[in-house]
Structure 1
Amino acid sequence: MAAILLDLSPVICLSDDQFYDLCAKNPELRLERSATGELAIMSPTGGETGKRNSDINLELALWNRQAKLGVVFDSSTGFKLPNGAERSPDAAWIPQAKWEGLSPEQRRRFLPLCPDFVVELMSPSDTWEDLLNKMTEYQANGARLGWLIDPENKRVAIFRLGKPIELLENLSVIYGENVLPGFSLTIGNIW
């Protein structure tokens, strides 16, 4: 099931606090908000997607535990992007300095920044075009590296800040490049 889009603008424009409270009061819903205020209600993932997402987060967190370069976030974490959208990528990472620059209050709420690294894992309910748009939004808001992973078609779109999208198929390994030095994900395990 694709995300349900809800435009509340004829009735109300939610403030950041109201949107945060709406999410907190309805934790069973996976909500995101576009830069124009449109709400996206996303369905939970199925078992295969959940397993794949967990594997990606595990590998990223293990690398980060060794590298000690930043902080890793799962798909439950909300980010308030510079354009005003609130998004929750399937996996995300920020450098330690960005984390340390946040106040305790900022750390408790949706993080007011764009992650340096994001992953979106395509599930059967997603469309390639919608996720390409979301990844382009991350890139436009400062994400230095992003991976859009499509297990069904065994392809990965790589987004790099200031560069065109690179589409690769049938990879065995994908690398964190200069954003996540030394990180690699055996993508064959995700297919």
Structure 2
Amino acid sequence: MVLSLHLKPVLMLDDDQFFELCGINRDLRLERTAQGELIIMAPAGGDSGRRCANFLIELGFWHRRNNLGIVFDSSTGFKLPNGADRSPDAAWVKLERWQALSESQRRKFPPLAPDFVTEIRFPSDALKTLQTKMQEYVDCGVQLGFLIDPETQRVEIYRPGRDAEVLQSPQVLDGEDVLPGARLNLQDVLF
């Protein structure tokens, strides 16, 4: 279940207040749009959580072999350049970009767009909403994004300056030049 709360003009949360709100409501997944709208999502169900964990394991295996950056799970919020606070299901940031952040920036929602993101569609997610979110990521600087839809067994690949590429039932996804050498097995994510 996803709820949207329009706070403006009654209430305006600054970045610190939003971070605190997320901290005291850990049972919810909270995001904030660039317009200040609060998005409230329930925790993932078992099957959805399993799929996300399996994707993170694949990304983690690649990360351990290459150590080129930092991997993040769905509990990590990112302050995007457009002002939105988003939490992709999986994300990765190049090491030099992560190291360029101050310690205080790393402790809160890092003020950057990850280099790579993944969203896995849960049964309660509207496809159009996730497609819009994926485009927002790319517009903010994400270099590669995967929208994985287990229900239809489709994957949409997002890259800057290109239309989304749609793959039907892929077994493996290539990390291209963003995740060099990554071959992410989707067997336990899509099926």
**CA distance in structure 2 between the aligned counterparts of 1:106 and 1:10, rounded to whole angstroms:** 28
Structure 2 Cα separation of the partners of residues 152 and 145 of structure 1: 22
**SS at 1:125 equivalent:** coil
Partner of residue 23, structure 1: 22
For each residue in 1:80-109, what CA deviation from the matched residue of structure 2 results, as whole angstroms up to 9, or x when unmatched? 000000000000000000111011101100
Partner SS for 1:92: strand
CA-to-aligned-CA distance 1:125-145 (integer Å, 9 cap, x gap): 101101000000000000000
Amino acid at match of 1:103: S
Q: Would the alpha carbon gap of residues 189 and 29 (structure 1) be closer, same or farther in structure 2, given more than 3 Å must change?
A: closer
TM-score, normalised with respect to structure 1: 0.97
Query: Aligned partners of 1:119 and 1:82: how far apart in 2?
Result: 18
| TM-score under structure 2 length normalisation | 0.97
> What corresponds to 1:111 in structure 2?
110
- Flag as ranges the 4+ runs of structure 1 deviating above 2 A: none
2:38 maps to 1:44 = no
**1:21-51 deviation digits (Å, cap 9, x = unpaired):** 1111211121000000000000111111100
For residues 66 and 167 of structure 1, the distance between their equivalents in structure 2, rounded to whole angstroms, comes to: 28
Classify the secondary structure of the residue corresponding to 1:98.
helix
Aligned to 1:125: 124
Structure 1: which amino acid aligns with 2:171? S
Match for residue 168 of structure 2? 169
Percent sequence identity over aligned pairs: 53
Q: Are 1:88 and 2:87 matched, yes or no?
A: yes
Aligned-residue RMSD, C-alpha: 0.8
d(CA) in 1 for partners of 2:75 and 2:58?
Answer: 17
What CA distance in whole angstroms lies between the structure 2 residues aligned with 1:171 and 1:125?
Answer: 23
Hey, what does 1:98 align to over in structure 2? 97
Match of residue 56 from structure 1: 55
Query: SS at the partner of 2:147?
Result: strand
1:189 aligned residue = 188
Alpha-carbon distance, 1:188 to partner: 2.6
Alignment partner, residue 145 of structure 2: 146
2: CA distance, partners of 1:68 / 1:31: 29
Report the counterpart of residue 160 of structure 1 in structure 2: 159
Displacement of 1:7 in angstroms is 0.6
